[in-house]
Amino acid sequence: MIDIASPLRLRIDSAALVSNWRWLAAQSGQACGAAIKADGYGLGARGVMRHLAAAGCRDFFVATWAEAAALMPLAEGVSLSVLHGVGKSDMIAARTLPARPVLNSLEQVARWREAGEGKPCDVMIDTGMNRLGLRPEEALGGALDGLVIETLLSHLASADEDSPQNASQLAAFRAVREQIPARRYSLANSAGICLGADYGFDLTRPGLALYGGIPREEARGAIRQVAFPEARVLQLREVPAGETVGYGATWTAQRTSRVAVANMGYADGYLRCHAGSGGATWRARDLPLVGRVSMDLVAFDASDADGLGEGDWLALDYDLAQVADRSGLSQYELLTGLGTRYDRYWI
């Protein structure tokens, strides 16, 4: 098979990833796991698991059984949970793979009770998000009797805000904990960890902050950027003063300009909303994005980047919190939208 390099690459800083996990673990005060769903938030779940497991992380969470299967075989001592539970078509995978379902409904509980052969499971309790999970009254009505529950979970809906819902959900989860036996209890995501030790319980489940996202101000300065997307220059061209660049002629050269066209666009998660605020750097020189983003091409003003040539690599401006503020995209979208055309490599 011919090995063809992509004109896009994603540098992934393993030291930053591990540093972020260790900071989150220290804030948790308890065991700290890792959400690696959506292929490790776009970075590559297998690589994320390998580096975090080597650092001491033992509890990992994916969304689906297909994501779980892609991580096999698991390293010794590693625990994997599947957050979306078990549908009818999931039972073969759930019974054969070394992963636990997170049961989310009375139907899933009944399905697991009937076919789970007494294996341990996790259970999600809905304490106010109204997304997945059993309502407290369902859980306390005897539906869980006899199950071997490894981890009882809930999920915070507004932890990234100073919302009264946080305390309400905490109180609801504490009440359920008192009545439902499980080996461990888990409530806090990345933002929940920042709310303080009361939210830690036995196990925390950070996601966004592992990958460089800032869930709350308490994490700013401690969480490091992990993902660094780069694009190769496809062509350099001179644009005379007064001429325009790109679809809709939205950018006009105020002087004779040197424009670098790069292999990247909204097919790679770099969307039209970056127009007017996006940019890149090359050897510490700023290259503003000019014109609209198109499907797989963008243009940058390289007039002041003397020496830049075809085939050189541009580093995108991709600080997650800053770019989210400028673009209107969430930090989650900025990470998980990075497409498959990026060559991912760890540094």
Q: Which residues are catalytic?
A: 37, 247
For 213, 261, 332, the CA distances from 295, given in Å and listed in that order, are: 26, 13, 21
Judge whether 152 and 122 are in contact, CB under 8 Å: yes
Number of neighbouring beta carbons within 10 Å of residue 292: 21
Alpha carbon distance 162, 228 (integer Å): 30
For 18, 89, 98, 131, the CA distances from 86, given in Å and listed in that order, are: 31, 8, 14, 16
- Counting Cα atoms < 13 Å in the Cβ hemisphere of 277 gives 15
Alpha carbon distance 325, 318 (integer Å): 11
Judge whether 181 and 210 are in contact, CB under 8 Å: no
Number of neighbouring beta carbons within 10 Å of residue 235: 12
Q: Per 3-state DSSP, what percentage of the chain is helix, strand, and coil (rounded to 5)?
A: 35, 25, 45
Q: Name the strand (E) or helix (H) holding 12.
A: strand 8-12
Alpha carbon distance 153, 131 (integer Å): 13
Among residues 62, 42, 45, the alpha carbon closest in space to that of 53 is found at: 45
Regarding beta strands 285-290 and 298-301, do their DSSP bridges make them parallel or antiparallel, or are they unpaired? antiparallel
Among residues 171, 160, 165, the alpha carbon closest in space to that of 193 is found at: 160
